[in-house]
Structure 1
Amino acid sequence: MLDKITFAKRYSKALFEVLKADGQLDSGYAELKQIEQIFNDNANLSKVLADVSFPENKKQELINPLIDNADSKYIKNLLKVLVGAGKMDALKLIVDNFETLYDKANNIVHASVISAVPLTDDQKNNLSNTFAQRVGADKVIFNCKVDQSIIGGLVVKSSNVIFDGSVKTKISNIKKLLLN
């Protein structure tokens, strides 16, 4: 029996490959993100669907609207397989792994930005373009956070890259120089 992580990696890779081969990669990704949002909005849904003590006919009643509303036959089949195998709790991992494959194929980088004040849309766009060039990405998706403790400037963190241009760090570095 496969552990949940291996199971999720295999199914996400298989789904990625069939959607790509059928020219449905972008639409399939969007559909997966919508389904993921439904599960995020209903926190206990995956637990109920994976619960062996919950009646199968009730599980079908819960999952059928998702299956019926799915545009992709591959995603419909995935949902059927997951509910039939009692593995709906692996859906989040499958979507996360799929997103990693999708991002890699489309040269998309995710990064977090910490600023002392909220960034304007223009600032986000300029930063996105600059960071994309810096890391060699086609697109950068930011998760922006405000942290007034950095005083000013920005901290940009991606999977293996950190650019810390915060005033707090600069003051800390000057302090270290003065003390040594």
Structure 2
Amino acid sequence: MLKADGQLDSGYAELKQIEQIFNDNANLSQVLADVSFPESKKQELIKPLIDNADSKYIKNLLKVLVGAGRVDALQAIVEHFEALYDEENKIVHANVISAVPLTDDQKNNLSQTFAKRVNADRVIFNCKVDQSIIGGLVVKSSNVIFDGSVKTKISNIKKLLLN
């Protein structure tokens, strides 16, 4: 529905903001899910979020979740929406493991190269340093692994020599 109304990007941004509010205020989810907490008080707590939402779909989602006592499902809903949003916009998330921290230029070059390999418009990296790989890179996305680490190359050579 957001897509049909041309609100996909703004709806995604709103959901991410709401998710952040709930992440920053862990007690909020607990209170809203508590059946002993009066419904009128729940509505008071959630009213600013609903009022600040631009999208009628996001407003309705919040009202339904609070009314049904299912605010705890918000995280799963946001994650699922994010996966659909990423698929629609050809965004790929990947983990990068390197022996040393990557510079911004290296990250940009890697992003462009990896995007071409996996047919994505955009790549979002989660970079980690692991000196045990000795050198090179390991790039892992949901369905692709590129292992160009020195550790793996040494291991492969060792296997060849021992066979």
Shorter-chain TM-score range: over 0.9
Normalised TM-score (structure 1): 0.85
Letter of the 1:95 counterpart? V
Match of 1:78 in 2: 61
1:108 corresponds to which residue? 91
Aligned residues: 163
Give CA-to-partner distance per residue, 1:11-67, whole Å, 9 cap, x none.
xxxxxxx11111111111111111111112223322321121222233223211211
Q: Does 1:125 align with 2:108?
A: yes
* Structure-2 separation of matches of 1:111 and 1:71: 31
Match of 1:95 among 78, 87, 102: 78
Superposed CA deviations along residues 106-136 of structure 1, whole A, max 9, x for unmatched, are 1111111111111111111111110010011
1:142 aligns with 2:113: no
Cα offsets for 1:59-87 (capped at 9, x unmatched) = 22321121111111211111011100111
Partner SS, residue 20 of structure 1: coil
TM-score by length of 2: 0.94
Higher relative contact order by CA 8 Å / sep ≥ 6: 1 or 2? 1
| C-alpha RMSD of the superposition | 1.3
1:175 matched to 2:151? The reply is: no
Q: Any idea what the Cα deviations from partners look like across 1:133-158, whole Å, max 9, x if unmatched?
A: 00111111111111122121111001
Partner-residue secondary structure (3-state), 1:112: strand
Distance 2:27 2:148 in 1: 41
Cα distance in structure 1, aligned partners of 2:21 and 2:100: 31
TM superposition outliers: structure 1 runs of 4+ over 3 Å: none
Give the secondary-structure state (helix, strand or coil) at the position aligned to 2:81: helix
For 1:71, what is the secondary structure of its paired residue?
A: coil
| Secondary structure, aligned partner of 1:113 | strand
Deviation at 1:161, TM superposition (A): 0.4
| Identity in percent | 88
Gapped regions of structure 1 (runs ≥ 5): 1-17
